[in-house]
Amino acid sequence: MAQDLTQRIKDIANVQGVRDNQLMGYGLVVGLPGTGEKASYTEQTFKTMLKNFGINLPANVKPKIKNVAVVAVNATMPAFIKPGQTLDVSVSSLGEAKSLRGGMLLQTFLKGVDGEIYAIAQGSLVVSGFSAEGLDGSKVIQNTPTVGRIPNGAIVERSVASPFSNGDHLTLNLRRSDFSTAKRMADAINDLLGPNIARALDGTSVQVIAPREASQRVAYLATLENIELTPAEQAAKIIVNSRTGTIVVGQGVKLMPAAVTHGGLTVTIAEATQVSQPNPFSDGETVVTSNSTIDVEQEDNRMFLFNPGTTLDELVRAVNLVGAGPSDVLAILEALKVAGALHGELIII
């Protein structure tokens, strides 16, 4: 049974100008059960908040605010969201607060990159983590008690202008650039809507003629995003994560004729401490000496020969037969690449 590789345009491309926007704010969480902080900037922020309500504390007065914490508030504003709708917000401690559990965020302005206020956040936090500390200094922490969320905790006050309805064209941007896929997308649109409706601008963007009237443009885009096409195969790549030992071999990776041998050399060094005592009634001193034992073991593995055009399945099977670990596989792949026997891009992250 043949595998269906077709995908909708909405699954592989985005409409240019239709994007999310990040918002950020600085605020106070109050009502904490003694898990707040006593930093100077927390006191300054607390005094500023009181001043906004008409309460002025003397300069020499330091309020006891162990139930208050300074936090950073983050939210993502989707495209086309309108004033009055709500956003989920994330709240993270900026100081030495031990936990935000049980706290409530006071009214906080959320600003965009342009410095304008787009939403206002407030509400009780939902914190999944917790911490407990004993009098002897022992401590238990689960998850992250200094980070919380407020579902629907921000109200949008201003919408972001979108270029969606401007001009005579729409531009579709591929999430993964590829000249072949861009051409196939343009061809699929032209096959359905007529010739010269779409044209590929580069390996990422496809420009499509679109109606100017907003409602017609929405219906037009709803048709466009459900057009199906078969994306081009990606370039042959091998991705290696040197930190975790994860190796992903993509489709299309092949080997030229090559022979690989894997010999594991194991060196074990054991240190033992011995105490040498002097004879009775002698002038000698007790001496501590070290005794080192070194054991070297080398595996006896066979050499494997890769024939021309070896495929992904054969490569993985051969490596498994060798019994190589992730670090050894990386060394083998690098050696094959240097030898010119590996057809594919080796990417180490």
> Are the C-beta atoms of 73 and 25 separated by less than 8 Å?
yes
Farthest CA pair distance, the chain: 110
Q: So what's the pLDDT on residue 268? A: 46
Q: So what's the pLDDT on residue 267? A: 38
> Are the C-beta atoms of 23 and 76 separated by less than 8 Å?
yes
Q: What angle do CA 100, 106, 111 make, to 5 degrees?
A: 105
Q: Is the dihedral of CA 167, 173, 178, 184 positive or negative?
A: negative
Every domain of the chain with CATH number 3.30.1360 lies at: 7-16+163-229
Please tell me the distance from the alpha carbon of residue 106 to that of residue 114, in angstroms, as a whole number: 23
Fold (CATH) for 7-16+163-229: Gyrase A; domain 2 (3.30.1360)
Q: What tens-digit pLDDT sequence spans the chain (349 residues)?
A: 445 678 999 999 999 988 899 999 999 998 888 887 877 777 778 777 777 777 777 777 777 778 888 999 999 999 899 999 999 999 999 888 888 888 999 999 999 999 999 999 999 999 886 555 555 555 555 667 889 999 999 999 999 888 887 888 899 999 999 999 999 999 999 999 989 999 999 999 999 999 888 888 889 999 999 999 998 888 888 888 877 777 777 777 777 776 666 555 343 445 456 666 666 666 667 666 655 454 545 455 555 555 665 665 666 666 666 566 666 677 777 777 787 777 788 888 7
Q: So what's the pLDDT on residue 153? A: 94
- For 14, half-sphere exposure in the C-beta direction (CA atoms, 13 angstrom radius) is 9
